[in-house]
Structure 1
Amino acid sequence: MTKVPNPLNPKARKQRIDDLAASSASSSGVALAERSVSDAGHVEESAGVSLIASAWRRLRGNPVFLLGATISVLFILLAIFSPLLAPHDPTARLLIDQVRPQSNPIPGAQPGYPLGADSVGRDILSRLIVGSRQTLVVGVLATLFGFAGGLTLGTLSGAFGGWVDSLVMRLVDVMLSIPSLLLAVSIAALASKPSQWTVIIAIAVVQVPIFARLLRGSLLAQRSSDHVLAARALGVKRSAIVFRHMLPNALGPVIVQATLVLAGAIIDAAALSFLGVGNPDDRQPEWGQMLGAAQEYIYDHPALAIWPALCIITVALGFTLMGESLREALDPKSRR
């Protein structure tokens, strides 16, 4: 007869635990003899990943970012090479002989002119292609000027604080209290002669408070960081701390915001041109200008307005999708 060990016996309990441990180790293919105290808590070393590399790893698998980046890159390439891609001269009245003010004011689509012509016989497709350059120039320059103005005000406010911060922020609050389009129209209306630069300056002024407030918040977060406190303790000058330690680390969110603001600048430029405060010279086609000129024929020939409107919507959507994806990828709170 086999003797059953007493479960209350401490030696029997210890033997039972050892047997269970041995059977568990053998079933997993790892022998107890191979285990050592030095293996406990061991973590394999791996190479560190920078913020940009980590963001790119998430972005390249994000279909929203890829769609936005594709639209934006195609728009930029189209704007750069537009004179070469346009099938006809956008200012030439090639179909003027087909324009009949009473019966046929807008020539329709035909071989060589897939979108037809406008009221003076100019090819619509060529004007859309060449107009992309003017739209890009206005959007980029307005964003750059707004970024420069916001960088100046935001740096003064976030780096120095005190009465400088209060004065700058009250000015920013006043600008933000006025609707952006109303402020842009008011600034553009002050010009004695509307031009492309009128639109650029009006949109840039509207964007200044957006960049200024965002940069101020980033600089305030940098003021209490360890590397800034260490530089102050070492007696580094304030200007060196601001421009070498604080500002480079605070520009990331502002640059990402610039991609979103660029989409808004394109829409605002189109709105100003549509309202008639943009460049009056239609020999330089621009999408907003084409949209404004089409309102006279909107009921009988809506395609004149549909094509430039679709171009504006598509390009603005591309920059918006790309900017939102960049913001989520670089924001630690939004990382997945």
Structure 2
Amino acid sequence: MSSAAPPKGASPKTRRARHAKSSGRGARTARPAGLWRDAWHDLRRRPLFTVSAVLIAVVLVMAAVPSLFTSVDPYDAAGCVLGDARQGPSAAHWFGTDNQGCDTYARTVYGARNSVLVGLGTTVLTALAGGLLGLVAGFRGGWLDAVLSRVTEVFFAIPSVLGALLILSIFRTGTVWTVTLALAVLAWPMTFRIMRASVITARGQDYVVAARGLGASAGRLMFRHILPNAIAPLIVVSTINLGVFIAAEAGLSFLGLGVQSPDITWGLMIADARARFHEAAGPLLFPAALLSVTVLAFIMLGDAVRDALDPKLR
């Protein structure tokens, strides 16, 4: 049965409330759909995203507050007993000890900070430099686009290891920041090309043409209309690259070109432990395992974000 009509003497407020209730407008209005909201809704249902996000969260907490995971300070020389060198896992030393008698578990936990800092720093620098230049080149076109494209081709022609060797030899010291800068100098052309291609696709869309016709300035067109709709591929690649840069730092440290002692990174631990691997495998296997899990987690997260942001893959 239909609801009874409001009495004639009812107030306008009462009439509007009863009309809204009968028509269903009193219910909460659904939020408008959008790319990012739909992507987040899709991500929450993906086990791949959940697993990778949990692993990355643990690693980030470990890097930010290592004292939550161990009470041993590996930077304190008093905690290293040479007579306990190359011991196997035990109740006192979960991952055993390294060549200097230091606790491998504590060094693995504290090594996460520098490794993650290199990955995050390089990712931010490459995303800002390559993304901004790609945005300008893709939007402007012409001679500016041609010059920047030729410059990126020069960087692509430089072998990564040789380029890192050259840059780090200039600084003559291996720290977190010099390694970050060396990797960023070599990696920004990749983000430039991805952002440029995305901007070229977006600048011909109807909403950009309409905004241009209404008199929008170049800055407003780039940062208000094009950038929000062209940045998705850059986010996906940056997420995957973060894991790649962590692995690259480990490779440079393994070759003796990356972060140097007394700093601790997973790559440096692997390099120090390789000579005595047959006597004590723990100092090499445990940081290598955590390095592999971290890199895999970022790659998995990037794949999940890519699938969520691409409507064709849903």
Q: Structure 2 length as normaliser, TM-score?
A: 0.85
With over 3 angstroms needed to count, the CA separation of the structure-2 counterparts of 1:89 and 1:230, relative to structure 1, is same
Matched residue of 1:140: which SS? helix
> Does residue 309 of structure 1 match 2:298?
no
- Asked if 1:156 is matched to 2:141, the reply is no
> What secondary structure is seen at the aligned counterpart in 1 of 2:132?
helix
Residues 289-328 of structure 1: pairs in structure 2 closer than 5 A:
289-328=268-307
2:44 paired residue number:
60
* Alignment CA distance shift 1:236-1:52 (3 Å): closer
CA offsets 1:294-328 (integer angstroms, 9 cap, x no match): 12112322222111111110000001101101001
Q: Kindly report which structure 2 residues correspond to 1:79-98, keeping only aligned pairs within 5 A, or say none.
A: 79-91=63-75, 92-98=77-83
Kindly provide the amino acid, as one letter, of the partner of residue 82 in structure 1. P
Q: How does 1:1-336 map to 2 (within 5 A)?
A: 48-91=32-75, 92-99=77-84, 105-282=85-262, 284-335=263-314
Decide which structure has the larger Cα Rg and report it: 1
Partner of 1:28: none
Amino acid at match of 2:83: Q
Aligned pair count reads 285
Secondary structure (helix, strand or coil) at the match of 2:264 reads coil
* Offset, 1:229: 0.9
Distance of 1:88 and 1:228 partners within structure 2: 57
What is the root-mean-square deviation in Å for CA atoms of aligned residues?
A: 1.9
How far, CA to CA, are the matches of 2:100 and 2:248 in structure 1? 27
Structure 1 distance, partners of 2:133, 2:31, is: 39
Please list every run of 5 or more consecutive structure 2 residues that lacks an aligned counterpart in the other structure.
1-28
Return 5+ residue gaps in structure 1 as ranges.
1-44, 100-104
Give the C-alpha shift of residue 93 in structure 1. 4.2
TM normalised by structure 1 equals: 0.80
2:71 corresponds to which letter in structure 1? P
Output the CA distance in 1 between the equivalents of 2:31 and 2:150. 47
Q: Cα deviations across residues 113-138 of structure 1 (Å, max 9, x unaligned)? A: 12121122211111111111111111
1:93 touches 1:122 (CA, 8 Å); kept in 2?
A: no
Per-residue deviation, 1:46: 7.8
Aligned to 2:18: none
Contact 1:68 1:321 in 2 (8 A): yes
Q: Secondary structure at the match of 2:187?
A: helix
Deviation, 1:48, is 4.2
Cα distance in structure 2, aligned partners of 1:79 and 1:196: 14
Q: Percent identity?
A: 33
Match of 2:25 in 1: none
Partner of 1:5: none
In the TM superposition, what is the alpha-carbon distance from 1:201 to its structure 2 partner? 0.5
**Residues 238, 97 of structure 1: CA spacing in aligned structure 2 closer, same or farther, 3 A cutoff?**
closer
Give the structure 2 partner of residue 32 of structure 1: none
Deviation sequence 1:137-173 (CA, Å, 0-9, x none) = 1110111111111023212211110011111111112
Deviations 1:210-241 (A, max 9, x none): 11011101110121111211122222222221
CA deviation string 1:149-198 (max 9, x = no partner):
10232122111100111111111122223343443333223322222222
Q: Letter of the 1:239 partner, please give it.
A: G
The worse-fitting range, judged by mean Cα deviation, of 118-127 and 80-89 is 80-89
1:47 Cα deviation from its structure 2 partner:
6.4
